[in-house]
Amino acid sequence: MSAIHDLITEELQFLVEEYECINKSILDQITKLSEYSNKINRSIIKACTQCGCLKIEGKKLDFETAHDELDTQCYGNICPDCKEFVEKNMGSCLYYLAALCNTLDLNLYDILLKEVKKVDLLRKYNIE
C-alpha cells in the first residue's frame, strides 16, 4: 500500500481523537460500532425492499465450484440515494472503529496491513 493510504488512516485516527468528546467510553464506542454496522445492513435491505434497486436471492452456494463462478447473490445496481445511505453508515462505522483503535492504542493502518497479508496468504480459504 502507498504512503497516502497510511496517511489517510492516521489522519482519521487523529481527527477522531481530536474531536470525539461524547463517546469517549469504550462501552459507547463498542455499542456505536455495532449500531452503525446494523445500519449498514438495514440500508442494504431497504435498497431491496423499499427502493428495489437491489435484489438479494439467497440460495445454497456450491463451494466446489471455481472461485470465479461463485455468486454474490446480489443483483442490480445500487441507486445513488441508496448508495449515499450505505456509504454514510460505512463511514460512521469507520469513525467508531478508529475511536476504538485509539482507545486501545491500536493503529488502524497496521490492522489493515495484517488483514491484507492474511487474505493474500489464505486466498479463497480465508473463511472466518
Residues 13-52: tens digit of each pLDDT: 999 988 887 778 999 999 999 999 999 999 999 999 999 9
| C-alpha cell belonging to residue 31 | 455499542
Nearest to 72 by CA among 39, 98, 44: 44
Map out the domains of the chain as residue ranges: 25-125
Residues 74-117: tens digit of each pLDDT: 999 999 999 999 999 999 999 999 999 999 999 999 999 998 89
Burial class (CB in 10 A: 0-12, 13-18, 19+), 95: buried
The pLDDT assigned to 73 comes to 87
Return the CATH number of the domain spanning residue range 25-125. 1.10.287
102 CB neighbour count, 10 Å cutoff: 20
pTM: 0.81
CB 1 within 8 A of CB 116: yes
Q: Give the DSSP H or E segment for 55.
A: strand 54-56
The pLDDT assigned to 3 comes to 65
Residue 123 pLDDT > 80: no
